[in-house]
Structure 1
Amino acid sequence: MTTTRLNRRHVLQALGAAGVGAVAGCLGGDAEGNGAESDTSADEEGLPAAKAVDVDRIARDPTDIPAPVDWDEPREHDITIRTERVTAEIEPGVTFEYMTFEGQVPGPMIRVRRGDRVNLTFEVPEDMNKVGHNMDFHAVYGPGGGADATTIGPGDDPTQISFTADYAGVFIYHCAIPNMDMHISSGMFGSILVEPEDGLPEVDTEYYLGQHEIYTDGEVGEEGHHSFDFDAMLAEQPTYVVFNGQAYGFTKDGGQPMQAETGETARVYFANGGPNLLSSLHPIGNVWSRYYRDGDLLTDPEKNIETAPVAPGTTTAAEMEFPVPGPVKIVDHALTRAGRRGALGVVNVDGEPTRDLYDEDP
């Protein structure tokens, strides 16, 4: 590693400890990366045209989850996480430049057993526009949750940390560089699931959802390319509030509703990246039959919860059954977000009723 890169990494580490937005342009950056003299409003002619997209869908498949733990002795896991900057659609005709872990939102779920050792390699490629990144794991006991040691700039040699997953539960991870709120809003968060030694109750289906706010210089549904708006973020007035980076991506119109069968049980791992807004997690037409508040997998779950708060920076787990067919809608029950800004997903439940619970006249 060259002296220049080493010094830049040390600068990033020092600034990270000072919190959000400690110094704009700490890497000689630009409006995209560090908010220096950012243009936060569309010009008089309206938004620029939508850009070509790098990925068909920014939304990570909610079933893209590692298999449940099936080992009973501590293991080591070699995991590599790479940052990617991608242009994608928030909704049709609306493009945005996301910053991600591994190209989609949320970042990949990491799944281990309590006592396992994780050997993490973290990479930031040169095309990240002079913007440094790192990873703060809420599951990690250590400086910055690993953020100090993983702080690197674009093109720096990959950095490595090892940690023992000592806390059973489901936890968030996120970028914690200066302007971390902007980086998280742009997609840089995910979850790590640390199963208890005895594992988790078996379920038929698992889903992985991540909510976050996107602050742009356009209006909801305004076609064109939306740029990040720091003023809107400071006012905590998002343009979109979405699941997995995409407005209504898990609906019929969004092209990929979730699927289940009657008689099945599903578990939802739900990460609220924020960076600012509390989520009011609710399944319309169902309840959370077992709710692991704040990702606590050691305490007996709460029962039959209708709506539960999920603070920004928290991952929770919740289960539900599907005794009758029909759509179950998962929403943020701050309903303007669900009805107007994108925070709604659908589980299509097919099959015959398993119990005589619900009828409607034809």
Structure 2
Amino acid sequence: MEKVREKVNLRVFYPFILFLIFGLEGCGSEASEKTYRPESVTTNSQMKLFGEEEAILTAPPLVPPPVGNRPAKKLYMEMEIIEKEAEMADGVTYMYWTFGGSVPGSFIRTRVGDLVEFKIKNHPDNKLPHNIDLHAVTGQGGGAEASFVAPGQEKTFSFKVINPGLYVYHCATAPVGMHVANGMYGLILVEPAGGLPPVDKEFYVMQGDFYTEGKYGQTGLQPFSMQKAIDENPDYVVFNGSVNGLSGDNAITAKVGESIRIFFGNGGPNLASSFHVIGEIFDKVYVEGGSQTNTNVQTTLVPAGGSAILEFVADVPSNLVLVDHSIFRAFNKGALGILAVSGEENPAVFAGEIMEGIYQPEGSVIQTMPQSEMELTAPKDLSQEEQIAAGKKLYMQACFACHQTDGQGVPNAFPPLADADYLNADPERAIDVLLNGLSGEITVNGKNYNSIMPAQQLTNEEVANVLTYVYHSWGNIGTVISPEMVKSRRK
């Protein structure tokens, strides 16, 4: 009887089992017919081309002209890979590997549907093979496999840009991290049909972290440190390839009322960037360089190998300070730039100081800076030229973060040293400030500053050297400060 019941039960369940097998298979077929296929595949990849042209590539901070309303075209572009020694910081050089001779590499501007014929050339004097991986490219390695090229050789490959957005490109030759860490990265923009909305000024900025055998500021040609890179412990975090990549003579400029767009990328290879502009709010941020936008943003997080498009209007005249708001990177590793905005004041937006007073609930104690980990030393009995050179090195290691490489200071925070009446009026007072610190309000070149200058733990020779450098820079009076003068002012 049990065997009979088993056969009966199986007969009952056979139809159900068959339904599960064949019914679900049918559902799967129907589902596969409805598989989502994005517009980039169904439309943009098949977009018709109208004409052809040579693409314009630009070195940072410049950007090629907008694509505007033009149709999709065939674009021809060439990029040369160059390995070259260049300045990382004052007195510090580095062997950069570059796309187009700059760090970051040349800016590439396209529109969705363009067909790109890309020629990549590896200069004969280079030592290593390289290639290019463009995040905007849908294909093997983003084009890396098709573009692998030895020194003295060139390759041409082709791709269609089918996804609008701002994308990073970089070298993907092993060891990939080393090639990226040596500066091999850049941005490629794919504008949507009809282009981006017009603005008055556009700039190209990329952050990168660099790893050197020597400490920050150690002079001479600095080799790459693989161990520091693996440990993710950079000596330099910079914009556009160097400590001065966006400051001093390399500062970018705009006028009050101009609309500004920054194409910002992070080459890495390791660190994310907390990108911020001191003194402005981003009116619009294209999040991660894509189509989604956010408004009224103070700081935007950009991962290594990522990007963002930032838009705002320069509302008042000021030196807007571009920083990675992981703030020690800005003031101690170089991630700092200047957007100098000129024009008429706008009291409705910023009225400046309207009242002054003294508030000292904890007394007027001057802070003392600890001895620098860099253990800066200065030789004695230097000539004036040697003293200026030694003082410049010390300034770039200990002073530039607050007073800037060009001595202009930080508006409303730290006073300028350039052509500074407060400084030039009394050299002995300047010595006292370095030795003993300074707090409270001072007036420099007609503007009031109220902050704290910590006492510096420097030798007599170091104080003399750095002040001599400052007095011989930026239009100051050329006074020579001797170690004996410093010694006489010590209390």
The TM tier, using the shorter chain, reads 0.7 to 0.9
TM alignment of 1:180-259, pairs within 5 A: 180-252=176-248, 255-259=249-253
More helix by share: 2
Match of 1:313 among 305, 318, 322: 305
- CA separation in 1, counterparts of 2:252 and 2:185? 21
Match of 2:164 among 168, 179, 182: 168
Pair 1:337-2:329 in alignment? yes
2:391 matched residue in structure 1: none
Larger Rg: 2
* Partners of 2:282 and 2:295 within 8 A in 1: yes
1:125 matched residue in structure 2: 123
* Partners of 1:248 and 1:343 within 8 A in 2: no
Normalised TM-score (structure 1): 0.80
- CA separation in 1, counterparts of 2:80 and 2:245? 24
What is the CA RMSD across the aligned residues, in angstroms?
Answer: 1.4
- Relative contact order: is structure 1 or structure 2 higher (C-alpha 8 Å, sep ≥ 6)? 1
After superposition, give the CA deviation of every residue in 1:153-184 in whole Å (9 maximum; x if it has no partner): 1123x111111110000100000000111111
Report the CA distance between 1:143 and its aligned residue: 0.3
| Shift in alpha-carbon separation, 1:83–1:239, aligned structure 2, 3 A | same
Match of 2:314 among 280, 302, 322: 322
Report the CA distance between 1:355 and its aligned residue: 6.2
2:262 matched residue in structure 1: 268
- CA separation in 1, counterparts of 2:99 and 2:218? 27
Pair 1:279-2:273 in alignment? yes
Report the CA distance between 1:136 and its aligned residue: 0.3
Pair 1:84-2:82 in alignment? yes
Where in structure 2 are there 5+ consecutive unaligned residues?
1-57, 354-446, 448-491
* Partners of 2:132 and 2:170 within 8 A in 1: yes
Amino acid at match of 2:66: P
- CA separation in 2, counterparts of 1:117 and 1:264? 33
* Partners of 1:210 and 1:271 within 8 A in 2: yes
* Partners of 1:88 and 1:96 within 8 A in 2: yes
SS class of match (2:250): coil
Where in structure 1 are there 5+ consecutive unaligned residues?
1-58
Decide which moves more: 141-150 or 68-77. 68-77
- CA separation in 1, counterparts of 2:273 and 2:117? 32
* Partners of 2:240 and 2:246 within 8 A in 1: no
* Partners of 1:262 and 1:354 within 8 A in 2: no
After TM superposition, what 4+ stretches of structure 1 lie above 4 angstroms from structure 2?
none
Amino acid at match of 2:288: D
- CA separation in 2, counterparts of 1:333 and 1:277? 12
2:352 matched residue in structure 1: 360
2:288 matched residue in structure 1: 294
Q: Give % identity.
A: 38
Report the CA distance between 1:343 and its aligned residue: 0.5
- CA separation in 2, counterparts of 1:72 and 1:103? 29
After superposition, give the CA deviation of every residue in 1:132-169 in whole Å (9 maximum; x if it has no partner): 1000010000000000110121123x111111110000
SS class of match (1:88): strand
2:13 matched residue in structure 1: none
* Partners of 1:263 and 1:354 within 8 A in 2: no
More strand by share: 1
* Partners of 1:278 and 1:309 within 8 A in 2: yes
- CA separation in 1, counterparts of 2:132 and 2:88? 24
